[in-house]
Structure 1
Amino acid sequence: MKEEMSSVDIRYIVRELQWLVGSRVDKVYHEGDEIRIKLHTKEGRADLILQAGKRFHLTSYVKEAPKEPSGFTMLLRKHLSGGFIDAIGQHQFDRIVKIRVGDYTLIGELFRSGNIVLVDSENRIISALRYEEYRDRAIKPNAEYIFPPARENPLEVSFERFLELMREEGDLELVRALARKLNMGGLYAEEISLRAGFEKTTPVKGLSDRDLLKVYEAMLGTFNDEPRPNIVFKDGNMHDVVPIELKVYGGLEKKYFSTFSEALDEYFGRITVEKARIEQTQKLEAKKKQLLMTLAKQEEMLKGFEKAMKENQELGDLIYANYPVVERLLGEFKRATEKLGWEEFKKRIEEGKKAGNRVALMVKEIDPKEKAVTVELEGREVKLHLDKSLGENAELYYENAKKFRHKYEGALKAYEDTRRKIEEIEKLIEEEMKKELNVRRIEGRKKKWFEKFRWFVSSEGFLVLAGKDANTNEILVKKHMDKNDLYCHADVYGAPHVVIKDGQKAGEKTIFEACQFAVSMSRAWSQALYSADAYWAYPEQVTKQAPSGEYLGKGAFMVYGKRNWLHGLPLKLAVGVVNYEGEDFILCAPPDAVKVHAKSYIVIRPGKLKKGELVKKIKAILEKWGYKVREEDLNAILPPGGGEIEEVAG
């Protein structure tokens, strides 16, 4: 299974991602060996992932950011955040990508263990994921960044040079010669051989110059082939992800994608999710494994104690069951050892066994130290101490049985305790598996045209739009305000332009809500005003024509003629989930508008809570209602500045 991108993959992804040039870097996140760059592009949000030694592409799989950003994170944010991507490139045909943002370049080394290096305009290293020293270069602060020694670039090599390289080691097989001499992996070397019409094992010395010309042309054709990104499956499992259709994978199951980035994201994203799932439970799994090993040992101990307890009990009973025999043996053996001594006694027993003496044959072991003789009774060996009575000998076995019973009971308690711990861990693992992963996927959804603005649906069902900044204010009035609309504006400097679509059919309720939206989304909110004034006018009254001697910047317009004022509008908004055009949206709008369209809502007003704290509180309430929402999305729809929650209905 593929684990990192090839030089060919990087060539195709770099070409595909050229549309990101001009995008603004919003924020940079770092964890482990990867960084994620959150971008604002002409298409909206995009997340670019760069993982050392592995991959480089847009991603919809977003890891939960670490609570404490690393020093590397802070440094990257310092130099890159707010900047614009000026160039994305590949160094030669190597597994190295370069992202230039203003005076800085982020270099991703995707070979071996890889690295991520930030350099300045003079190519001096500012920081890196890892500081390392090699024979020919060093990755350390203030050192000049030097690329690894270059290898042949198959896209730039001439046919004459290609021939020279191939002939250098003519004994090599074609696939090995291509892979070794021209900086390509075995997969593409095999693909080129196949496209050229030769077996990959063909010795190069057996190919003519004309044959090698076919190989050369097949190589250029392969690396310039039309993209057809796909994931290749073997036996139902992901095997590879490639940017073009490969003959070597003919007959295998494939899943095609419109972009190579989507294919890479699906492939590596699924691996990331699986890895995150394993990481989420691996500590608990390790503890469970350890407990299972303990449990197995305890089971063996229990079996041993149970067996010993049973055997000792039975041997004690056996002594009493053979009372006359044991009593006689004890007496005879005791008199014999006292009269003859232990050595002579042993000798007499051995002679008796040879002679076939029945009593001697019963003896299995003699232990002078313990003054004991082990005899066989009913097929079982019983140790008899000659200095003890029959009852005392039986009692020894009963005492041993009692000791093993206590050990068994203690071991059983420990065994049950271990089983309980395993059950508890299994429940915890089950709970962890149910928990949301720290890797979530941002579902791709084509945004509605009105989502580039602040917006809501009035209580009477009219679409109301407002600018977010100078650029969207300009677009809203110039491109989206029609003659049948109404224009609204707060009597606050820098307030957003507000347009009621088809507003000339709207009632007073909608006009009130639109004007309330205008004042609430202005800086009057951050100034914690209780109320403010706004007015409405007709589209033809709004123009870019400035008074003589004045200039109107981007997003600024003049309103001529009568202004229809609404005074003392309360600064108050509500957050709720509203269904519009078949989709659910979390909106922040005038309370009356939200109450009509949402079952549950949260009313807010200007207040002392910082915006971040207000966002967290609203997010928590929405999650209780079953709505998952990102803090950054809530932050985008709320008015500027802090606030307070006045009412929660739901």
Structure 2
Amino acid sequence: MKEEMSSVDIRYIVQELKEEIVGARVDKVYHEGNEVRIKLHKAGEGRKDLIIEAGKRIHLTSYIKESPQPSSFAMLLRKHLSGSFVDGIEQHDFDRIVKIRIGKFTIIAELFRRGNVILVDENNTIIGAIRYEEFKDRAIKPKLEYKYPPARENPLEVSWDRFVELIKGEDTEIVRALARKLNMGGLYAEEILLRAGIDKKKNVKKLSEDELKVIYEKMKEVFNSPKKPNIVYKEGKMIDVVPIELKWYEGYERVYFETFSQALDEYFGKLTIEKAKEERTRKLEEKKKQLMATLERQERMIKGFEEEARKNQEIGDLIYANYTIIDGILREFSKAVEKFGWNEFKKRLEEGKKQGNKIALLVKNVNPEEDSITIELEGRKIKLYLNRSINDNAELYYEKAKKAKHKLEGAKKAYEELKRKLEQIEKEIEEEEKKIQVKKIEKRKKKWFEKFRWFISSEGFLVIGGKDATTNEIVVRKYMQENDIYCHADIWGAPHVIIKDGQKASERTIFEACQFAVSMSRAWSEGLYSGDAYWVYPEQVKKQAPSGEFLPKGAFMVYGKRNWMHGIPLKLAVGVVKYEGEELVMCGPVDAVKAHTDKYIVIRPGDVKKSELVKRIQKILEKWGYKVPEEDIMAVLPPGEGEIVEVVE
């Protein structure tokens, strides 16, 4: 089973993470053991958690550990990185090393062997690390320059001549030569040779130039394969997670994912939970194992006692069912033994068998030492003591059946007690598993408009607005159409607000959109209680600046008549509304929210920190039966501090 990412995996995940995390803001950093988790927020996309496990993996995760008291390394990372933005991420050469640039600093994730996570400054000087260590050619210690491990060959950049030189310099199987010399690991060496149709065990000295050319071409093909992330299963168990379709795994069950991060997260997330369960319940599982073994032995004993009781009871009954025959055998045989002795009796018995005597043929064994004979009746062997009566013989079997039943009762009681103990152990295991501090954040797939500021007007029109320069640009350029209405607050940096299909709306919706534009602007964070806004038609909004002027990103010019609304109060409401089959937390003008839900919270500019305001709103929503993540509430609220002025239930 795979336990760490390969250089190939890292190449693909880094390409993916460039799209996912570059431009995201660092909210908080957590550290425990070998793991560092960076909680990020990306405008228009919300929360993203990046997990780095030294020596093993790096990807976005939804499996979140409840972190203990922050470590000194976590505090160091928070001090230097919180509030900064991710500027870039790259793989160092083709090694299992990833560099993440955040502001003036860089996190270096070493994902080979024991691994490490190191923070360096703009001069590549080490500020801190998970662990400090020394090697023969470098050291990980504060104030020292960070040095990379000795470089290894990059199969993506290796020339044909260099490839031949590397491979021909070996005297081993081609699969080993590829894995060692070109830093790709065994799996991808096998895949390349499988696609090339060349025996992996063939010695490199016996390879022709044509065969080497095919291997070289297939190597380039594999490492430039289109991304198709999947988890590979064998007999229902995960055995690998890979970024591309591998011929090597043809015939195996495979589950595909939209992103490599999702595949890695599902794979390593489940491993993390399984390991956490194993660590927390190891002793209890040992007890359970012992109890189950004892329980199995007890089950076998119960079956044995049941069989013994049944068998002896049936033999006792069989003796009485054949009373005349058995009584006659006991009387006649005891007299014969008394008269002739056992040796003569046995001789006469054998002669009787030869002559076909029915009674003699019933006898299967003679035991002079026990003064007994064994006969067979109705397929049952019955031992009879010649010195006892038929009643005494039958009673012997009934007594054995009675003792077996008594033992059976005791065994059943012991079995029930073991079952009770096993159930108790299983409950304890279940309770311990509940304490495992790893939970999976189930992220709802957001609707397209949730990357912007938005609300549904009281008349049912969708209104969207930008959150920053980038989303402002997108709102106007991509989503504004000729039948919409454009609204803007009379303050610099206010969001561009669009009423979709707004030319069919009444003045009521237009007023709500203008109130939204004012409330979502800097006017809120400045503590203003009212502001002005205007609306125009889409054709009046252009990216064309007056001569000699320049329009920055997110800025547009409005030409022609503006339809003004003055003295609009900055007041919004928060509630959970049903829209397109889903329940969504919405923040918008009070009349708009009121039109779609009976319960809502009215807010206005105030002096309560936004994070605290979010928690208060979350508690009220929870009381109403809605479990809304903090980040979802944070995403819809206006910028800056505020206060709750009314709760309508």
Q: So what's the TM-score if we normalise by structure 2?
A: 0.68
Residues 118 and 126, structure 2, Cα contact 8 Å, conserved in 1: yes
Q: 1:621 to 1:431 in 2, by over 3 A?
A: farther
Corresponding residue number in structure 1 for 2:77: 76
What CA deviation, in whole Å up to 9, does each residue of 1:33-82 have, x standing for no partner?
Answer: 2334455668735544332111123x241415636544433433444455
In 1, distance between residues paired with 2:58 and 2:227? 17
Is residue 612 of structure 1 aligned with residue 614 of structure 2? Answer: no
- The match for 1:532 is 530
- Aligned partner letter, 2:460: G
Please state if 1:572 is matched with 2:571: yes
Deviation at 1:133, TM superposition (A): 0.7
CA contact (8 A) 2:543 2:555 kept: no
1:304 maps to: none
Which residue in the other structure is 2:620 paired with?
621
How much does 1:159 deviate? 5.0
Query: Cα distance, 1:132 vs. partner?
Result: 0.8
Structure 1 residues 364-403: Cα deviation after superposition (integer angstroms, max 9, x where no partner) = xxxxxxxxxxxxxxxxxxxxxxxxxxxxxxxxxxxxxxxx
Q: Give the letter aligned to residue 14 of structure 1.
A: V
Task: Give the Cα separation in 2 of the matches to 1:557 and 1:97.
Answer: 43
Can you give the 5+ residue segments of structure 2 that lack an aligned partner in the other structure?
Answer: 295-416
**CA-to-partner distance for each residue in 1:416-451, whole Å, 9 max, x for gaps?**
9x9999988865654665689643235362541x33
Kept in 1: contact 2:175–2:193 (CA 8 A)? yes
Aligned pairs for 1:169-208 (under 5 A) are: 170=171, 172-208=172-208
Q: Does the aligned pair in 2 maintain the 1:486–1:536 contact within 8 Å?
A: no
Give the 3-state SS of the residue equivalent to 1:14 in structure 2: helix
Q: Distance in 2 between matches of 1:626 and 1:647?
A: 19
Corresponding position of 1:246: 246
Rounded to whole Å, the distance in 1 between the matches of 2:644 and 2:207 is 79
Q: Distance in 2 between matches of 1:293 and 1:285?
A: 13
> Which 10-residue stretch deviates more, 244-253 or 22-31?
22-31
Residue in 2 that maps onto 1:344: none
Structure 2 counterpart of 1:108: 109
Residue 259 of structure 1 and its aligned partner are, at CA, apart by 3.9
Native 8 Å contact 2:44 2:451 kept in 1: no
Alpha-carbon distance between aligned partners in 2 of 1:167 and 1:484, rounded to the nearest angstrom: 69
State whether residues 594 and 600 of structure 2, in contact with CA within 8 Å, keep that contact through their aligned partners in structure 1.
Answer: yes
| 1:460 pairs with 2:459 | yes
Distance 1:444 1:49, change over 3 A: farther
Give the C-alpha shift of residue 3 in structure 1. Answer: 0.6
Structure 1 residues 541 and 232: alpha-carbon distance in aligned structure 2, compared to 1, 3 A threshold? closer
State how 1:317-466 maps to structure 2 within 5 Å. 430=430, 438-443=438-443, 445=445, 447-448=447-448, 450-466=449-465
- Residue 244 of structure 1: how far off its partner (Å): 2.9
1:498-577 counterparts in 2 under 5 A?
Answer: 498-526=497-525, 528=527, 531-539=529-537, 554-555=554-555, 561=561, 563-567=563-567, 569-577=568-576
Residue identity matched to 1:94: D
1:100, distance to aligned residue in structure 2 (A): 3.4
CA distance in 1: counterparts of 2:130 and 2:221, whole angstroms: 36
Per-residue deviation, residues 240-268 of structure 1 (Å, max 9, x unmatched) = 11233333323222223344333323322
Q: 1:272 matched to which residue of 2?
A: 272
- Other-structure match for 1:95: 96
One-letter amino acid of the structure 2 residue matched with residue 192 of structure 1: I
CA contact (8 A) 2:487 2:533 kept: yes
Is the Cα contact below 8 Å between 1:229 and 1:244 reproduced in 2?
A: yes
CA–CA separation in structure 1 for the residues paired with 2:220 and 2:499: 57
C-alpha distance in structure 2 between counterparts of 1:246 and 1:474, whole Å: 41
Identity score, percent: 60
For the 8 Å contact 1:485–1:538, the answer to whether it is kept is no
- Residues 491, 436 of structure 1: alpha-carbon distance in 2 compared, 3 angstrom cutoff: farther
Paired letter, 1:237: K
Figure out how many residues of one structure are paired with residues of the other and give that number.
Answer: 525
State the alpha-carbon separation in 2 of the partners of residues 158 and 473 from structure 1.
46
Contact 1:542 1:560 (C-alpha < 8 Å) held by counterparts: no
**Separation of aligned partners in 1, 2:68 and 2:423:** 32
**Alignment partners' CA distance in 1, 2:606 and 2:520:** 14
CA distance in 2, matches of 1:97, 1:234: 31
Q: Is the 2:257–2:263 Cα contact (8 Å) retained in structure 1?
A: yes
Distance 1:243 1:550 in 2: 48
Preserved CA contact (<8 Å) 2:285 2:429: no
Give the aligned residue type for 2:109.
G
Amino acid at match of 2:55: G
Deviation at 1:586, TM superposition (A): 0.7
Counterpart residue type for residue 189 of structure 1: A
The CA deviation string for residues 609-647 of structure 1, in whole angstroms up to 9 with x for no partner, is 332222112112323444332222212211233333344
- CA distance, structure 1, for counterparts of residue 457 and residue 115 of structure 2: 54
2:299 paired residue number: none
Partner SS, residue 595 of structure 2:
helix
In the aligned structure 1, how far is the partner of 2:585 from the partner of 2:79?
A: 32
Question: Aligned partners of 1:600, 1:102: CA distance in 2, in Å?
Answer: 43
User: Alpha-carbon deviation of 1:461?
Assistant: 1.3
Distance 1:596 1:431, change over 3 A: farther
Amino acid in the other structure paired with 1:514: A
- Alignment match, 2:340: none
Report the Cα offset of residue 573 of structure 1: 2.3
CA distance in 2 between counterparts of 1:91 and 1:632 reads: 33
What displacement does 1:232 show?
1.4
Partners of 1:247 and 1:194 lie apart in 2 by 7
Amino acid across the alignment from 1:250: E
- Work out the CA distance in 2 between the residues paired with 1:60 and 1:587: 26
Contact 2:23 2:42 in 1 (8 A): yes
Which residue of structure 1 aligns with residue 143 of structure 2? 142
1:54 pairs with one of 56, 73, 94: 56
Q: 1:100 to 1:566 in 2, by over 3 A?
A: closer
Contact kept? 2:541, 2:557, Cα under 8 Å: yes
Inter-partner Cα distance in structure 1 for 2:486 and 2:162: 69
- Residues 526/3 of structure 1: CA separation in 2 closer, same or farther (3 Å cut): same
Do the aligned residues in 2 keep the contact of 1:23 with 1:39 (CA within 8 Å)?
no
Normalised by the length of structure 1, the TM-score is 0.68
Question: What is the CA–CA distance in structure 1 between the aligned matches of 2:483 and 2:633, rounded to whole Å?
Answer: 32
Superposed CA RMSD = 4.2
Higher relative contact order (CA 8 A, sep 6+): 2
2:230 is matched with 230
C-alpha displacement of 1:606: 3.9
Change (3 A) 1:465 1:97: closer
Task: Give ranges in structure 1 of 5+ residues lacking alignment.
Answer: 298-415
2: CA distance, partners of 1:537 / 1:215: 65
Q: Give, in whole Å, the separation in 2 of the partners of 1:421 and 1:254.
A: 40
- 2:83 & 2:236 partners in 1: Cα distance? 44
Match of 1:598 in 2: 597
Distance 1:514 1:248, change over 3 A: closer
CA contact (8 A) 1:18 1:88 kept: yes
SS in 2 for 1:576: strand
